[in-house]
Amino acid sequence: MDKIKKEKIVFTIIRIISFSSVVFLLTLLGFIFYKGFSVINWQFLTDIPRNGFTEGGIFPSIVGTVYLIIGTMIFAVPVGILAGIYLAEYAKENRFKNLLRVSINVLAGVPSIVFGLFGLAIFVKRMHLGVSIISGSLTLGILVLPTIIQATIEAIKSVPDTFREASYGVGATKWQTVYHISLKTAISGIFTGIIISIGRAAGEAAPILFTAATFYTRGLPTSIFDKVMALPYIIYGLITEGTFPDKQVPIAYGASVVLLIIVLLFSTVGIIIRLRVRRRKSW
Amino acid sequence: MVKVEVKDLKVWLGKNFVIKGINLEILENSVTSIIGPSGCGKSTFLRSINRMNDLISDANIEGEIMIDDKNIYDPDVNVFDLRRKVGMVFQKPNPFPKSIYENIAYGLKIHGTKDRNKIDEIVEKSLRDANLWDEVKDKLFENAFALSGGQQQRLCIARAIAIKPEVILMDEPASALDPIATNSLERLIVELRKNYTIVIVTHNIQQAARVSEYTAFLYLGELVEFNKTEKIFTMPKDKKTEEYVSGRFS
């Protein structure tokens, strides 16, 4: 077989494989939308569940997911950014730093159900926070922390050292340089990491399973110590424990569509920001 | 009057003995060139004068550098005030990824100037002094990276002079510029020497001849010869200097 023929065959295979990934994605989206779109209407989005989740809407779960996102970010964003700054700008290259780096990488790979168990043991039980928004937020916060730290480190590392030199050259202190130059230059990269984390925190069911979520509550949560309904969890609950599957399964698909839209919305914003920054980046 | 007096300066970068005991006096309101082949320690020497070498974790420095009769390596010296007094222009133009205005206002702000009018005034004056005002006055709030290389380097000079330094260090400031931009930069340096003490590292021997009154020739970390520029070029005492300035160095 001659080279050109060989190349053609290989390229065809590669093309089919890459194309099939797109097919899978579209099939998945199509399937979920097909199954769930019929139940979505204004009432579905704004009403509370009625008659044991066979009627009404999923409004409290949307609110619950939003609360969990906000809580997660309040905890994870400052800690993640500060840890990233420390590792990128301050920590000296030594064993301790390597240990930190390895730990963060390992943490990023820990299954989310393990985070759920950890949250149950520490936040719910040990710290007596109960099954609550705050326990769930802290658990999700730890889950997304590695992502935010890594994004911060990457973004700060990509700031050229010549900027820092220029800043020191006019007499800036280390902190002034880190704050005004490194951080401000890196901010969009960090932001992208945060957006990705939001998508992750919104979609995970396992970490909130024992720490925050409940299948049904009356009305909306009134404090951070309340249990909360959340989209991933009601999907799980409706599918596994529903007693009226013919009415509840469509609601689960509807909730999946809403969750997908929320997550896609966030990642789209992330992608747009990244593209805009790449275009503006001039050094 | 002597502005900067270097006394037996020795610098190690890690295990490398880079500057091997240099003594040198730099006069106020003059331009002094540091020339020499690559790797002779020119940049390291220059960066000792505003303690930029402090940023390199394994740098070791011995000896004294007196500026206005005060050793800048004394423990009571505030290095950030020192760098305000001894400004620096780098080899590659390195404006901040901010607007032209912000590039100059940055130094003022970090040193505590808050008055907007005063900042406006200094921004304009610095840009005028750097011969850049006419080219940028209508786009002060555009990104500095939109400027050409030569303009960026003059912006960096404007940024350096905005905080009213007394000494300006220039590390091969024209090496990334085309001949026309180099020419306007050199004219600027000659103008600036009225008000500042300038030390310039250059690879370009003709440039040293054009802009400087004094020239120091460094070779392998040692000061081979230091004299008025015209003497260095017309009657060098050392054979190595003669070979270098005449381009016969190997």
B92 contacts in chain A (CB < 8 Å): 162
ipTM of the complex: 0.91
What integer pLDDT is reported at residue B152 of this predicted model?
A: 94
Question: Does residue A2 have a pLDDT over 90?
Answer: no
A185 contacts in chain B (CB < 8 Å): 97
The list of chain B residues with pLDDT below 70 reads 249-250
Query: What SS3 state is found at B87?
Result: strand
For residue A118, the cross-strand partners are none
Residue, of A97 and A270, whose pLDDT is higher: A97
Residue pLDDT, tens place only, B84-136: 999 999 999 999 999 999 999 999 999 999 999 999 999 999 999 999 999 99
What integer pLDDT is reported at residue B105 of this predicted model?
A: 95
Are B103 and B95 within 8 A, CB to CB?
yes
What integer pLDDT is reported at residue A13 of this predicted model?
A: 93
What integer pLDDT is reported at residue A280 of this predicted model?
A: 64
DSSP assignment of A161-228 equals HHHHHHHHHTT--HHHIIIIIIIHHHHHHHHHHHHHHHHHHHH--HHHHTTTB-S--SS---STTS-B
Which residues of chain A from 85 to 104 reach within 8 Å of chain B, CB to CB? 92
CA angle A190, B90, B172 (to 5 degrees): 145
A165 contacts in chain B (CB < 8 Å): 52, 55, 90, 94
φ/ψ of B238, rounded to 5, equals -95, 145
Question: Does residue A282 have a pLDDT over 70?
Answer: no
Q: Does B72 touch chain A (CB under 8 A)?
A: no
φ/ψ of B247, rounded to 5, equals 80, 20
Q: Which residue of B has its CA nearest to A180?
A: B106
Percent of chain A with pLDDT over 70: 98
Q: Which residues, 6 or more positions from A266, have their beta carbon under 8 angstroms from its beta carbon?
A: A195, A196, A198, A199, A202
Question: Between chains, do A171 and B94 touch, taking CB under 8 Å as contact?
Answer: no
pLDDT grade for A283, boundaries at 50, 70 and 90: low
Q: Does A153 touch chain B (CB under 8 A)?
A: no
The C-alpha of A267 sits at a distance from chain B's nearest C-alpha, in angstroms, of 26
Question: Does residue A200 have a pLDDT over 70?
Answer: yes
B95 contacts in chain A (CB < 8 Å): 166
Question: Between chains, do B96 and A163 touch, taking CB under 8 Å as contact?
Answer: yes
For residue B7, the cross-strand partners are B64
Stretch A100-120: mean pLDDT, rounded? 93
Residue pLDDT, tens place only, A117-169: 999 999 999 999 988 999 999 999 999 999 999 999 999 999 999 999 999 99
Q: Structure pTM?
A: 0.83
E strand residue ranges, chain A: 49-50, 55-56
Stretch A170-193: mean pLDDT, rounded? 92
The C-alpha of A164 sits at a distance from chain B's nearest C-alpha, in angstroms, of 9
Question: Does residue A277 have a pLDDT over 80?
Answer: no
**Closest in B83, B92, B111 to A168, CB measured:** B83
What integer pLDDT is reported at residue A269 of this predicted model?
A: 83
**Closest in B81, B88, B145 to A283, CB measured:** B145
The C-alpha of A92 sits at a distance from chain B's nearest C-alpha, in angstroms, of 10
Residue pLDDT, tens place only, B143-158: 999 999 999 999 999 9
**Closest in A166, A170, A283 to B163, CB measured:** A170
Burial of A11 per CB tally in 10 Å (0-12, 13-18, 19+): exposed
Cα–Cα distance between B159 and A252 in angstroms, integer? Answer: 60
